[in-house]
A = this chain, B = another copy of it.
Amino acid sequence: MNTINRISLIGAGNVATHLGKALKQAGYSIIQVFSRTQESASELAEILQCSYVTSLAEISTQADLYLVSVKDAVLEEILPAIGSKNPEALFVHTAGSVPMGIWEGKASRYGVLYPMQTFSKQQALSFQNLPFFIEANRQEDVPLLQKLAESTGAKAYEASSEQRKYLHLAAVFACNFSNQMYAISNKILQQHGLPFEAMFPLIDETARKVHQVSPVEAQTGPAKRNDRNVMDRHLNMLAEEPELAAMYEQISHSIHQFSSDKNK
């Protein structure tokens, strides 16, 4: 039976950094970090107290698991060089929107380990209950990846490549796009000498609420009430920012539509 102990980390970005730390803490042996950028490679290797390499040729042949966290564009390019390192090993990538099939013909045991979180290098992060979406070409490897994920405190789900595509899309809305709403809010406040901190209780409560009621039920504000007076005043205030005004109009319309659909 296969087991996972020795892990080679391919990539030294935000995801690789957080995963590497969590897996090391869970008792796995991180044997090597690869990154083309010497600085990133050495920095992460120091944190994980392991060696690092910057050329594909030097990647170890001794790992049980090759964990690949690199930019989607780089992924395809480096797969052939990695997949041939160890014919017995398991090869997984962490990209939400890249299908598992990308490994086909490049390795015999492969899969995906997709952590649903927004990783920033400088921010500490708890893995407790973090959802990991798992897929493997050999069903026997699914429990290995589940065990790996759960050893960090995370919650493991199985998801097909098709489902994972939509998970990633949904995450872009829930995370990147809601964060951009915060960024626009911050910009408006700064322009008028107001502190962004004043938004924290509102931001926190908005996030908290949807744990208990659906976002459509939780919605409030002028668009939900279809309060055209307020919306027109807001659009006037954004007259010098046509892009923001267009966004205001579009999202307000979407809110009103979702709210009407619910009441049908």
Q: Which A residues lie at the B interface, using CB under 8 A? A: 14, 71-73, 97, 116-120, 122-123, 125, 129-131, 133, 157, 159, 162-163, 165-189, 191-194, 196, 198-207, 209-225, 227, 229-230, 233-234, 237-238, 243-244, 246-248, 250-251, 253-255, 257-258
Contact B169 A219 (CB under 8 A): no
Q: A194-B170, A221-B172, A234-B97 are contacts. A123–B209 as well, Cβ < 8 Å?
A: yes
Interface SS majority for chain A: helix
Q: Choose among B130, B186, B191, B201 the residue that contacts A131 (Cβ–Cβ < 8 A).
A: B201
**How far is A3 from B186 in the complex, measured between Cα atoms in Å?**
36
Q: Kindly list 16 other residue pairs between chains A and B, CB separation below 8 angstroms, not including A97-B233, A243-B257.
A: A118-B202, A170-B188, A170-B199, A171-B221, A172-B234, A173-B181, A174-B181, A174-B199, A176-B222, A176-B223, A178-B181, A180-B251, A185-B215, A200-B211, A204-B207, A247-B247
Contact partners of A253 in chain B: CB under 8 A: 243
Instruction: Select the residue from A72, A125, A203 with max chain B CB neighbours within 10 A.
Output: A203
